Chains A and B, each alone.
Chain A
Amino acid sequence: MKSNFLWASSLALGLGALTCYADDPATVEKLQQQLQQMQENFNRTVREQQTQIEALKKQLDQIQRKESIQPKGTIPSSPPSVAVPSAPASGSETKPWSPTDPIRVGGRSAYVDLSMVGTFAAGTSTAHDIEGGTQMGGHDPNQRGFTTQGVELNLQGAVDPYFRGNANILFQLDSGGESFVELEEAWLETVSLPANLQLRAGQYLTEFGRLNTQHPHSWGFVDAPLVNGRLLGEDGVRNPGIRLSWLVPTPFYSELFVGVQNSQGGTSDSFRSDHAGEPFLGRIWEERGVGSLGDMLYSTRYAMSFDLSDTQTLLGGVSAIFGPNSTGGNTDTQIYGADVYWKWKPATAHAGFPFVSWQTEAILRRLQAGAFRNDFNGSGTLDAGEDVFGDGLIHTAPREGLTNWGLYSQLLYGFREGWVGGLRGDYVGRTRRASYELAYGDDSDRLSRWRISPNLTWYPSEFSKIRLQYNYDDRDKIGVDHSVWLQFELLLGAHAAHKF
């Protein structure tokens, strides 16, 4: 500053001497203005150069990092803008990895984002038949004491420029303490099909309603709604297949899904499942092969969404699944669903709080059940292996239509940061008694039942949660049961992103 001043004053003096107007105040002002402008120009040049230097340094740094990560001559399969600039700390990357270093995955520095969600429950119930009785879901708490509801490993990433991949592998302990592994999902999905189309292939959760496509850890309650457990099966509907979805060119969001999947197994409970040889809906379900395309599972869904205001969003849809069932050679099942989800979140919400959300799903199942008689060899008497109901009787049921339906409605209120209060009501029922029920007594898989579940969840951070839930459960012909469950959950690895 001082040197600037000296320089400027000598300039002024020089100019003054030349023009002989040194004492004219207008000239002094003009010179001062010039000086100020020059100073500003000088400062600007410095700043511009500084900016350029910073940008160049950054570029150089990136290039150096790229070279240090990629073996020479290979082209990375994922676009470098994802893999490289977001890589953490360049210092740690130039150092070769040694076996004693911890392996860190997740974030966007790896080719695959890896995460693990562990969900556990502890609690008790007055019911004598918790597993499959009061608790219909395959990942619900299943006994007094502790339950490992699931430890879910998720891997996802870009496969190549054409596909995106995702896999969910679930580890679980059954109520007897035995470990087992479930392949929940493993699919690839196209990234750039024309005409707003998208194709998914592999093992995937059938696009039906809202809850069926969500993994249990993102549910608002400890357990599955009764209607999902009873009509879609304890694990919901999922199987290997392909699915095409079309983002309909409407001004609002609307999407149409059409899928074809296998129709057998415990993950398509109302279709070609054999129910492990146990009676279901008054019949033994026989293994039935695939004869034609008509023996596959077909599903469709149409969803749409509207922003009601700046703070309220509505998402709704209708879904259907069609497929054969193995109660006979020519019998099939149709499941229909309607769902609605509404959410309010103010424009100044912090960390996602406060919010209010309301979600309701109604499901109806029409199942054509085949004629049945457990005199399998036609001898007219009950022979060895034929007493499948354990009552020493030959059960006879005609071919008949069995219709069941149900719904749940849940309200969640995130009343302060990290805290959510919830209330859910459940109802399931049948349209009328089936002929097998008239003859041999009501079937607990069809009887009406309702349940009320208040709960409270605390999220210490985005990566953990603790939830306390009470279930008041009223089953027709069985009575009232009370259950209390405490759920706790942890998330490790890649940051979760939430679908609406």
Chain B
Amino acid sequence: MKTFLATVFATLIATSAQAKLNIVVTTPDLAAIARVVGGDQVEITTLARPTEDPHFVDAKPSFIVRLNKASVLIEGGAELEIGWLPPLLAGARNPKIQSGQPGRVLCSDGISMREVPTTLDRSKGDLHASGNPHFMVDPMNARIVAQHLADAFGKLEASSAGIFSANASKFGDLLDAKMLEWEKTLAPFKGREIVAYHNSWLYFAERFGLKIELFLEPKPGIPPSPSHLAEVISKMKEMNARVVIVDPYLNRKTAETVARGTDATVLDVAQFPGGVKGTEGGYIALMDYLVNSLAKALGDKK
């Protein structure tokens, strides 16, 4: 009991001593940007793990405690977290992060969303009513999100607004410089076809002039069937698509089977920093990995 009380007091003292913004972020990619923008003025907790399927995170009760103590909640939005965030928010009883509050940051705001369905029809699979939510794989969207976060943090912590804004600009400049490099690296492969498991690479493909239009799952959220895979294999041969990209949470065996039938390479990729080895460094490290490994795979399979 004594030690318990001591811990409680220690926690209370610690909480009052640090005036850092307590931020909870749903996915690791947004967390990486928040870390860059917030610097040491913020304390960040990420809910989804980098290797995890962001659509199907378990609504663990421990997340309720984290959300209860948060002063900011950053989410991707566009229904990415619809399967698990609502019950957590209902339990969190934290008015600061209810929707519409300054502490609730929806990163999809200000992004030009793609594939917004004109009709909602689940016979086409589990479509997102607000468009394809995997927008962070376009570095230019990461730039918008960084600015968005700087504004949001600045509103909540006016004294550090300048720092946040400077951090975001610095990150933006770095992205711009890197962008030239990435574009140059991928320039020789403009128009090349790449096969993915789920339609989560649209924004990346569009930014770098690649084509990622062939998917191992027949419709969003529908598991691959043998007949669909056979169709994918024949289409790959037709299009001369020789690289299959797989996220860490997807079935690599399915991809390997398809690759065997088409003499293609399976490339491990991730939407989130830390999802693949060597990407733990953050957003830039992730993009470096994606661009370089893709260029290598495409170069090897002419």
The interface of chain A, by Cβ under 8 A from chain B, is 40, 43-44, 47-48, 50-51, 54-55, 57-59, 78-82, 85-89, 91-92, 104, 106-109, 164, 189-193, 196-198, 247, 250-253, 255, 303, 305-307, 310, 313, 315, 343, 345, 347-352, 417-418, 460-463, 495-500
Looking at the assembled complex, report how far the CB atom of B261 sits from the nearest CB atom of chain A, in whole angstroms.
21
Q: Is B126 an interface residue (CB 8 A)?
A: yes
A81 touches B99 (CB 8 A): yes
Q: Is the interface of B mostly helix, strand, loop or mixed?
A: loop
Interface centre among B92, B101, B104, B110 (most CB of A within 10 A): B110
Set of chain A residues within 8 Å of B140, measured between Cβ atoms: 47, 50-51
What are 20 A-B interface contacts by the 8 Å CB criterion? Answer: A44-B173, A47-B179, A58-B111, A59-B110, A79-B101, A108-B82, A109-B129, A191-B98, A192-B95, A193-B93, A247-B65, A247-B92, A251-B11, A255-B61, A313-B62, A347-B49, A349-B56, A350-B251, A462-B221, A499-B59
The interface of chain B, by Cβ under 8 A from chain A, is 7, 11, 49, 51-53, 55-56, 58-62, 64-65, 68, 77-79, 82-87, 90-93, 95, 98-101, 104, 106, 108-112, 116-120, 122, 125-126, 129-130, 140, 143-144, 172-173, 176-177, 179-180, 221-223, 248-251
A197 touches B53 (CB 8 A): no
Set of chain B residues within 8 Å of A306, measured between Cβ atoms: 62
A350 touches B180 (CB 8 A): no
Looking at the assembled complex, report how far the CB atom of A216 sits from the nearest CB atom of chain B, in whole angstroms.
18
A86-B78, A88-B117, A461-B222 known; A164 and B64 CB under 8 Å?
no
Cross-interface CB contact of B51 among A48, A348, A498, cutoff 8 Å: A348
In whole angstroms, what is the CA distance A343 to B125 when docked?
Answer: 28
Q: Which residue of A lies closest to B111 (CB)?
A: A58
A351-B221, A497-B59 known; A86 and B84 CB under 8 Å?
no
A88-B120, A107-B120 known; A417 and B65 CB under 8 Å?
no
Q: Which A-B residue pairs are the 9 nearest by beta carbons?
A: A79-B100, A192-B95, A305-B61, A253-B61, A107-B129, A352-B56, A497-B86, A86-B130, A89-B118
In whole angstroms, what is the CA distance A86 to B82 when docked?
Answer: 12
B49 touches A310 (CB 8 A): yes
B87 touches A499 (CB 8 A): yes
Set of chain B residues within 8 Å of A250, measured between Cβ atoms: 65
B53 touches A351 (CB 8 A): yes
B52 touches A348 (CB 8 A): yes
Set of chain B residues within 8 Å of A349, measured between Cβ atoms: 52-53, 56, 249
Looking at the assembled complex, report how far the CB atom of A492 sits from the nearest CB atom of chain B, in whole angstroms.
8
A91 touches B62 (CB 8 A): no
A91-B118, A305-B62, A497-B85 known; A81 and B129 CB under 8 Å?
no
In whole angstroms, what is the CA distance A190 to B95 when docked?
Answer: 10
In whole angstroms, what is the CA distance A189 to B90 when docked?
Answer: 9
Cross-interface CB contact of B144 among A54, A78, A86, cutoff 8 Å: A54
In whole angstroms, what is the CA distance A450 to B278 when docked?
Answer: 54
Interface centre among A190, A352, A496 (most CB of B within 10 A): A352
In whole angstroms, what is the CA distance A255 to B93 when docked?
Answer: 12
A88-B116, A349-B249, A500-B59 given. 5 additional CB < 8 A pairs? A58-B111, A87-B130, A191-B98, A303-B61, A351-B221
In whole angstroms, what is the CA distance A461 to B7 when docked?
Answer: 46
A55-B144, A497-B83 known; A88 and B130 CB under 8 Å?
yes
Looking at the assembled complex, report how far the CB atom of B26 sits from the nearest CB atom of chain A, in whole angstroms.
13
B99 touches A461 (CB 8 A): no
In whole angstroms, what is the CA distance A192 to B68 when docked?
Answer: 11
A81 touches B79 (CB 8 A): no
A89-B116, A108-B129, A497-B86 known; A253 and B65 CB under 8 Å?
yes
Looking at the assembled complex, report how far the CB atom of A163 sits from the nearest CB atom of chain B, in whole angstroms.
12
Set of chain A residues within 8 Å of B7, measured between Cβ atoms: 251
A85 touches B108 (CB 8 A): yes
Set of chain A residues within 8 Å of B130, measured between Cβ atoms: 85-88, 108
Set of chain B residues within 8 Å of A253, measured between Cβ atoms: 61-62, 64-65
Q: Which residue of A lies closest to B83 (CB)?
A: A497
In whole angstroms, what is the CA distance A59 to B112 when docked?
Answer: 10
Q: Which residue of B lies closest to A305 (CB)?
A: B61
A82 touches B100 (CB 8 A): yes
Set of chain B residues within 8 Å of A252, measured between Cβ atoms: 62, 65
Looking at the assembled complex, report how far the CB atom of B14 sits from the nearest CB atom of chain A, in whole angstroms.
12
In whole angstroms, what is the CA distance A105 to B78 when docked?
Answer: 17
Looking at the assembled complex, report how far the CB atom of B257 sits from the nearest CB atom of chain A, in whole angstroms.
15
In whole angstroms, what is the CA distance A191 to B92 when docked?
Answer: 9
Q: Which residue of A lies closest to B224 (CB)?
A: A417
A251-B7, A496-B83 known; A347 and B51 CB under 8 Å?
yes
Q: Which residue of B lies closest to A350 (CB)?
A: B249
Interface centre among A50, A57, A109, A349 (most CB of B within 10 A): A349
Looking at the assembled complex, report how far the CB atom of B109 sits from the nearest CB atom of chain A, in whole angstroms.
6
In whole angstroms, what is the CA distance A40 to B184 when docked?
Answer: 13
Set of chain B residues within 8 Å of A417, measured between Cβ atoms: 223, 251
In whole angstroms, what is the CA distance A280 to B85 when docked?
Answer: 44
B106 touches A44 (CB 8 A): no
A109-B129, A351-B56 known; A81 and B84 CB under 8 Å?
no
A500 touches B60 (CB 8 A): yes
Set of chain A residues within 8 Å of B112, measured between Cβ atoms: 54, 57-58
A345 touches B58 (CB 8 A): yes
Set of chain A residues within 8 Å of B106, measured between Cβ atoms: 81, 85
A418 touches B179 (CB 8 A): no
B99 touches A51 (CB 8 A): no
Looking at the assembled complex, report how far the CB atom of B268 sits from the nearest CB atom of chain A, in whole angstroms.
11
Set of chain B residues within 8 Å of A497, measured between Cβ atoms: 59, 82-87
Cross-interface CB contact of A498 among B84, B180, B223, cutoff 8 Å: B84
Set of chain B residues within 8 Å of A43, measured between Cβ atoms: 176, 180
Set of chain B residues within 8 Å of A310, measured between Cβ atoms: 49
A40 touches B52 (CB 8 A): no
Set of chain B residues within 8 Å of A255, measured between Cβ atoms: 61, 91
Set of chain A residues within 8 Å of B93, measured between Cβ atoms: 190-193, 196-198, 247
In whole angstroms, what is the CA distance A418 to B86 when docked?
Answer: 23
